[in-house]
Structure 1
Amino acid sequence: MPAACSNDFQSPAQVPAQVLPPEILSEIFMHSVRNTPSESWLRVDRPPWTLGKVCCHWRAVCLSTPSLWGNLPRLYMNTALYRDPRVLSLIQTSLDLSRTMPLSLDLTIFVDADDCITNTIPLFHQILPEMHRCRELVLACNGHSLPLLNKFSGNLGSLQSLQLRSFGSSWNFDVTQSINIFAESPSLTNASVIIDCEGSFAVGCIPLPWNQLTTLSTTDIPDSFLLDVIRNAPLLKRCSFTSAWHSDHEWDEWFPAATRHIPITHRRLESLSLLSQPGDPSVPTHFIEKLFLPSLKHLEWKYMDSHTARLISLIERSRCTLLSLTTHAKDLNREIISLLGCIPHIRELKLRGISGESLAVMTIAPSASASALVPKLQNLAIELPQCTSRDIQDFIRSRTVDLELGSVQHLEVVKLSFKSEKLYWEIYHQLEGWSTHTPGDDEAYTSILYRKRVLENLVQVLRKGGKSQLLKVRLVWYNSLAEASSNLSDDRHCRLKRIWTAFWAPSRKNPQFKAYI
């Protein structure tokens, strides 16, 4: 042993990084900057700038790793920070070192009429030559910036994903001017449009290549415009419309008027979300009366219960096989129950504020001889349940342990989100065979062991006498600051096809709870 120590001290010291291959070292560097805050990117004392100052080997790897420099921070045009020559130099260095790598840009452009006329925005002219590399673009702009954005036209050939938000006063938007910013974006398939302007605003002021989009989400867009978009976007598969407002305006400038009154049959649309912002329950849904969606599989809505009849009509006339339903209604009233009755193939269901009486409607009685409601249900999520822990356990048991109906699918995933800590713990404490918590030396560690032990009892109770199919139970306490999970992989669970998991609310007093896991 002394001889070994002597040899170690006499041998020349080596930098560990020099032993690592460049490709491994570059992966380590990428991991170190993956979660770097955007405000730290422009500081020379933070990664990735500091990585090249350790040694010449590290510097060579940094300079030869273009992906290390491709994710620029959020850039605010026409601000004092981005007029600083030192900051502009760092941005230019990042653009040069990223070479031909695709870029992800987040730009906020707020200019006045004078800036637009004088064209004096250094950062804009620095970014413009590299726009052909942009694959993902998050763009927020006001009305005066649109003429400036025309310079982007023809430089967005690699663009695949776009998030566009307009803000400011609507009178700043000159709708008479042709703004073909994204006219030549042959790869663009994913778009999100948010209109956050005071007063009315013609959304067609910024036209998109609708005919090639596969994913579209909008906020504060008139419903008449959305109908024209669906009619002229045959490749759409996923749509999410938030706070669509009713308008009788006809968009002849961007869409042909000849087909406006013809019912719309869209054969590719698979997912449709009809949402509203908080405090805005009066969003119109009558525009779906013109839709025929035979491929619809996923439906989400956050409207008043009186809109349910229109959704039932949509499903029946489309003759679609709905597999997933998310409703933000307060409870399962008669209309929603009738909706569940016309979608027997549903596999995923998300509800909010369900009562014990409503949950009992989906609970299968042991002596049931007829088919149950939503017999194919596999995944269920209930947010803020207004029922007892016994109601929840009876429902889970009826679709797992006590299930005898051959036509009913075994429940696989249950997610329960609580506001009350009392109800959260009752789900555990009412299980058979649960043991008393014995405090240990460390509160956080003992709590984790205890919850794991309670979870093992949950597994035994819910799956006693069941088949080899598994139930994944996820419990979320709303007041927690963090969320952790435990994988139970002891001997008596190894024969199962999956790993039983549960989520709990760890102690917020001990920030090192993750280390114990």
Structure 2
Amino acid sequence: MAYNANACSNCGFANPNTPSDSYVALPDHLLQSNELPTDEEIAQIENAISDRKARVLLLDKTIVALQSSLEQHRRMRQAAADQISRGVAILSVVRRIPTDVLAEIFNWTVPDEARKHATNRCPWVLGRVCSRWRALSLALPELWTTIDRKLPLAMVKAHLDRSIPYPLTVELGFSDTGSVELLIACSSRWEVADVEMRAFMGPALGAVQGRIPVLRRLRYNDNNGFRSFGAFENAPALRDVALSGKASPLLPWGQLERLNLKLSNSAGLSQLWQAHNLVELSVTGRPHEPLSVANLMELPRLRTLLIKDGLFLESLSLPALEDLYVSMDVSSLPSFLQRSNCQLKKFTTDVQCVSASIIAVLEHTSSLVELRITAIQDVHLLLSRLTIPASEMTAYARPLVPALSALAISNVGDALACTQLVAMAESRRSSPVCAEPSLCVLDFIKWTGLNLHALETLAVLRERGFTIEWLTGPHSMDRYRSWRPSYP
């Protein structure tokens, strides 16, 4: 049985709607020449043309029908795909999160500092997802406790109403005095306050005096110079304060535990002697007027000091100090350490200095555990001084900083410094009175890779079992920045 080209691919029978391929043929010799057709050939050609016109009409109808069917099947497929998506959404994990777990997730979204526009931030954006999320966000007062200065008045009112009775984190510094007045009326709920002092706020803010029982953290910036501003003098829970600009408010100094001063004058430093319970102090500003060193201030509980100008150390005695950062002038450090007689455990500096200045500091810090120096010029001399000679490797030796267990340094690139680094590490491992230091070398200059000396030194130290990182370019900058989120 001969194969039928028009047979259906499913059943094998002929399809009556499909045009046949057998039709009147055109004379081949006329297609390949320019001869004049005979009368008989003309009739044959006219019949062929008529036959093909009929075929074209039939094929056009078939194409239209197939296109209509194809479009219908496409719509059916899209509808089925949409149903699949809706079904998958119904079964999604997010939809099935228990309410208590969803509430905990919501709490982690606030405050959302990534977005600048208040209406596109949490918690406002949570209510746009679905009715369940909206109802839950409105039922969680803790989501609405952060009120920043970008919120318009209507949203401030909403935050205050929805956050009852939770403590508030507030920012004051609005151009709209109505917002300031609303927040001041709720000052009994302030837990954290960030105040950008404006001229119109002085009289209004004075009303909070004696009405801030739960305020524990205060950020206060004043570029106008409101001297002896007493609104925060009576704050029984206040422990953490940051002052900047020309700020010199009256504070309960004796109860403060953390203090950050970024001041343009030294007036705010004159009250430090009263802050005898401070545990952490950061002096990050550079006052335009000279610091007074007439009176020595002793802070007996201070353990962490982050300071920009080391000259200020001439005014301090800190017997409990453990962590010290200095970014300018280390010349006052030896006398300060000798006077304080503290057990310093961590010392960080990015002062452009020479080894002699650092060695003078280390001679007064036998308890030092971690040393980080990012801008030393002649690092091989420091490494040489930290190396324990073979003659001193006894239980009775008193080498420099014997407890040192973490060392971060820079400018170790030449052959001399690399050789000295290996010798220092080996000597401290072999000494019975020294800890074995982990090493971090920062190369801020090299951005493409280590030089030959560095590569060989790194391989030697790792082969001998030392813990070492050798960071270049952006990696060294990232490590440097990771040390100083709270440093000046």
Query: Following TM superposition, by how much is the alpha carbon of 1:235 offset from its aligned partner in structure 2, in angstroms?
Result: 0.5
Query: Following TM superposition, by how much is the alpha carbon of 1:409 offset from its aligned partner in structure 2, in angstroms?
Result: 1.0
* Inter-CA distance 88–417: structure 2 relative to 1 (3 Å threshold): farther
* Inter-CA distance 68–290: structure 2 relative to 1 (3 Å threshold): closer
Query: Following TM superposition, by how much is the alpha carbon of 1:167 offset from its aligned partner in structure 2, in angstroms?
Result: 1.5
- 1:92 is the counterpart of 2:157: yes
Structure with bigger helix share is: 2
Query: Following TM superposition, by how much is the alpha carbon of 1:387 offset from its aligned partner in structure 2, in angstroms?
Result: 3.9
TM-score (norm 2): 0.68
| Number of residue pairs aligned between Structure 1 and Structure 2 | 390
Q: 1:391 aligns with which of 412, 417, 425?
A: 417
8 A contact 2:308–2:328 mirrored in 1: yes
* Inter-CA distance 47–397: structure 2 relative to 1 (3 Å threshold): farther
Query: Following TM superposition, by how much is the alpha carbon of 1:333 offset from its aligned partner in structure 2, in angstroms?
Result: 4.0
Q: 2:299 aligns with which of 266, 281, 304?
A: 266
What letter is aligned with 1:210?
W
The equivalent of 1:115 in structure 2 is: none
- 1:19 is the counterpart of 2:19: no
- 1:240 is the counterpart of 2:282: yes
- 1:328 is the counterpart of 2:371: no
Q: Percent identity?
A: 24
What letter is aligned with 2:250?
P
- 1:193 is the counterpart of 2:274: no
* Inter-CA distance 139–358: structure 2 relative to 1 (3 Å threshold): farther
1:290-301 aligned at under 5 Å gives the runs 290-301=315-326
3-state secondary structure, aligned to 2:223: strand
CA distance in 1, matches of 2:129, 2:351: 57
- 1:410 is the counterpart of 2:422: no
The equivalent of 1:155 in structure 2 is: 211
8 A contact 1:108–1:140 mirrored in 2: yes
* Inter-CA distance 137–471: structure 2 relative to 1 (3 Å threshold): farther
3-state secondary structure, aligned to 2:272: helix
The equivalent of 2:401 in structure 1 is: 374
What letter is aligned with 1:418?
F
Query: Following TM superposition, by how much is the alpha carbon of 1:33 offset from its aligned partner in structure 2, in angstroms?
Result: 5.2
Q: What whole-Å deviation, never above 9, does each CA across 1:420-457 have from its counterpart, x for those lacking one?
A: 314x433897248xxxxxxxxxxxxxxxxxxxxxxxxx
Q: 2:234 aligns with which of 163, 172, 184?
A: 184
Query: Following TM superposition, by how much is the alpha carbon of 1:366 offset from its aligned partner in structure 2, in angstroms?
Result: 7.0
The equivalent of 2:191 in structure 1 is: 135
Q: What whole-Å deviation, never above 9, does each CA across 1:40-82 have from its counterpart, x for those lacking one?
A: 3224xx5433433433332332222223222333x06xxxxx6
8 A contact 1:238–1:270 mirrored in 2: yes
Q: 2:445 aligns with which of 403, 419, 437?
A: 419
Query: Following TM superposition, by how much is the alpha carbon of 1:248 offset from its aligned partner in structure 2, in angstroms?
Result: 8.3
3-state secondary structure, aligned to 1:462: helix
- 1:231 is the counterpart of 2:298: no
3-state secondary structure, aligned to 1:353: coil
TM-score (norm 1): 0.65
3-state secondary structure, aligned to 1:274: strand
CA distance in 2, matches of 1:345, 1:480: 27
* Inter-CA distance 107–473: structure 2 relative to 1 (3 Å threshold): farther
CA RMSD of aligned residues (A): 3.7
3-state secondary structure, aligned to 2:348: strand
8 A contact 2:414–2:453 mirrored in 1: no
* Inter-CA distance 380–244: structure 2 relative to 1 (3 Å threshold): farther
Q: 1:69 aligns with which of 138, 144, 160?
A: 144
- 1:364 is the counterpart of 2:387: yes
CA distance in 1, matches of 2:179, 2:210: 19
Q: Which moved more, 1:131-140 or 1:33-42?
A: 33-42
* Structure with max Cα Rg: 2
What letter is aligned with 2:306?
S
The equivalent of 1:253 in structure 2 is: none
CA distance in 1, matches of 2:294, 2:109: 56
* Inter-CA distance 139–388: structure 2 relative to 1 (3 Å threshold): farther
**Which 4+ stretches in 1 moved above 6 angstroms?**
8-13, 479-483
8 A contact 1:345–1:374 mirrored in 2: yes
Query: Following TM superposition, by how much is the alpha carbon of 1:221 offset from its aligned partner in structure 2, in angstroms?
Result: 5.7
Query: Which runs of no fewer than 5 residues in structure 1 stay unpaired?
Result: 77-81, 111-119, 197-202, 250-259, 277-282, 433-457, 484-517
8 A contact 1:246–1:284 mirrored in 2: no
Query: Following TM superposition, by how much is the alpha carbon of 1:222 offset from its aligned partner in structure 2, in angstroms?
Result: 4.8
Query: Following TM superposition, by how much is the alpha carbon of 1:295 offset from its aligned partner in structure 2, in angstroms?
Result: 1.4
CA distance in 1, matches of 2:415, 2:192: 45
3-state secondary structure, aligned to 1:181: coil
* Inter-CA distance 474–96: structure 2 relative to 1 (3 Å threshold): farther
- 1:304 is the counterpart of 2:329: yes
* Inter-CA distance 401–360: structure 2 relative to 1 (3 Å threshold): closer
- 1:146 is the counterpart of 2:223: no
8 A contact 2:215–2:238 mirrored in 1: yes
CA distance in 2, matches of 1:427, 1:34: 48
3-state secondary structure, aligned to 2:283: strand
Query: Which runs of no fewer than 5 residues in structure 2 stay unpaired?
Result: 1-79, 480-488
8 A contact 2:441–2:470 mirrored in 1: yes
Query: Following TM superposition, by how much is the alpha carbon of 1:219 offset from its aligned partner in structure 2, in angstroms?
Result: 2.2
CA distance in 2, matches of 1:184, 1:39: 34
* Inter-CA distance 186–53: structure 2 relative to 1 (3 Å threshold): same
